[in-house]
A and B are shown apart, each in its own frame.
Chain A
Amino acid sequence: MLEVKNLVFRPIDNGVEKSIIDDISFTVADGEMIVITGPNGGGKSTMAKLLMGIEKPDSGQILLDGVDITKLTIAERANAGIGFAFQQPPRFKGMTVERLLSLAAGCELPEKKCCDLLSNVGLCAREYLKREVDNTLSGGEMKRLEIASVLAKEHNLFIFDEPEAGIDLWSFSMLVKQFEQLHSNHKESLILISHQERIIQMADRIMVIKDGKIAKMGAKEQVFPGLMHHEGGCRCQGPPCV
């Protein structure tokens, strides 16, 4: 279970204090899926980075399964059970896809396991295992590899920052299946940042972040209808947003 209490993030930008996250509190139960949505620049990705330790809050508390992780490093949070998929994953010259997946898993993965992970996100495994994670991979391939790397290990909490961005329609369906499968375990907590209707509709609860605050949070049935008619909300239907 994740508990976020009164989280505040006010970085100084060019000598001016900016309120990016303004006193946000929420919980995510074990097995629960929360989709965070809202207008661009509202603070969604920053929220995710604060949970992973990539950004440090000015005040507030983050507890994972009752343990205060607010002051832990990124690596310590990862080892405490948080998995994080970046919106724009970095590339690594010289590192093969196979090696990246083994690093993500924390152990040497057998070829069969690597192939399964890649196939599940729509990458043809044999072609990719020995390829380098460099700029010869397209943005969509990088995104799918990013999802595969997070799924390579068991976590208590998964955070996916706009997993659908840059992914083609066919792979998107496979991606949705992956999230459905994770969710059906009713074990891990899931936080997805998304603008995509199909992903939002998978949520148990929806959180709308706007101007660094929770503008709305509640069960999907309560929040979703309002999103479709709200200025700045989710209007995307059919193919994923790219």
Chain B
Amino acid sequence: MAEIDQVTQSILEKIDDAGFGKEGAYNLRYNGYSLCHGNTKNITIKRKEDGKGMEVHISGETKGEQVHIPVVVATSGITDEVYNDFYIEDGADVTIVAGCGIHNSGCNDSRHDGIHTFHVGRGANVRYEEKHYGEGEGTGARILNPKTKIILAEEAVFTLDSVQIEGVDSTKRETEVILGAGSKLFVMEKLMTHDEQVAVSDMEVRMEGEESSAQIISRSVAKGKSVQKFHPKAIGCAPCHAHIQCDSIIMDNAQVCSIPEIDAKHIDAAIIHEAAIGRINNEQMIKLNTFGLDDEAAEAVIIENFLN
């Protein structure tokens, strides 16, 4: 089995909170290749024949298992494009941890585009965690462009927890979700940008089944001269519920743009969108000052808790 070097190990610690230990079902993609992988009785990871990704089959017998599929790009100038398909059978209960980290110490751009498709069976419960991180002293950009498509069958539940806190110069995230009857989607998106970073997130949630529901919460902090743009779109084609909440803290000379779109195509589609952009609240700062925190510490506490 391939050894993991120190840089890769350090990135894995950043992007996989649960801990990547080459146990259970896993696949580590390193500089565009699968470095190591493992299956379990219920979860099978199969490399695609063209080498451009994998198929992950999760059986209905899966109860509470985790699949770890981290991606590390550690060489400057690499463009890695991967197509991963997940087939989750009816009634499965699984957590998929799929972080991506780039270490770029050179002058060329490093880029990873992860194109993921989830076919979620009836009554299955999936938690998908995606943490993005960039580091390295090089001048080359660190670019991550994830595309995620999720198709939920009846009564399926999908929780998407995405975090990008540090070091990614440019990201364009595209997410598309189709909800069947009685299925539920929970999205928690946390983002922090700094310097001259750019982050764009387009999301389309289509509630096609009766009594489907979606809750989308986006929290972001934009510092320096960074630019963020959000475009969440909820489409209600049946009796359904959706609540989208986008909150952003803007600092320094940053720019945050939020373009909500809600589209009801059925009289019983109830869709709410809330969006707020504002600077750090002065009353919160003063309150934390009265706890003995100076302005710098108070600001850090507010941001840390806001992104929680």
Contact = CB atoms under 8 A, between A and B. Distances in A.
Nearest to A106: B292
Nearest to B297: A75
Nearest to A89: B287
A216 B291 CA distance: 32
A73 B287 contact: no
B280 to A, nearest CB: 11
Given A54-B286, A74-B289, A90 B281 contact: yes
Interface stretch (A78-86, A120-128, A168-176, A227-235): A78-86
For this complex, into which size category does the number of interface residues on chain A fall? Answer: 20 to 34
Nearest to B307: A94
Interface residues of B, number: 22
Interface stretch (B49-57, B137-145, B261-269, B298-306): B298-306
B308 to A, nearest CB: 4
Contacts of A79: 292
B292 A94 contact: no
A1 interface: no
A52 interface: yes
B247 A78 contact: no
Contacts of B284: 90, 92
A95 interface: yes
Contacts of A99: 305
A94 B308 contact: yes
Given A95-B305, A103-B301, A90 B290 contact: no
Contacts of B298: 75
Interface of B: 219, 247, 281, 283-284, 286-295, 298, 301-302, 305-308
14 contacts: A73-B294, A78-B289, A79-B292, A83-B290, A84-B290, A90-B281, A90-B284, A90-B286, A92-B284, A94-B219, A94-B306, A95-B305, A99-B305, A103-B301
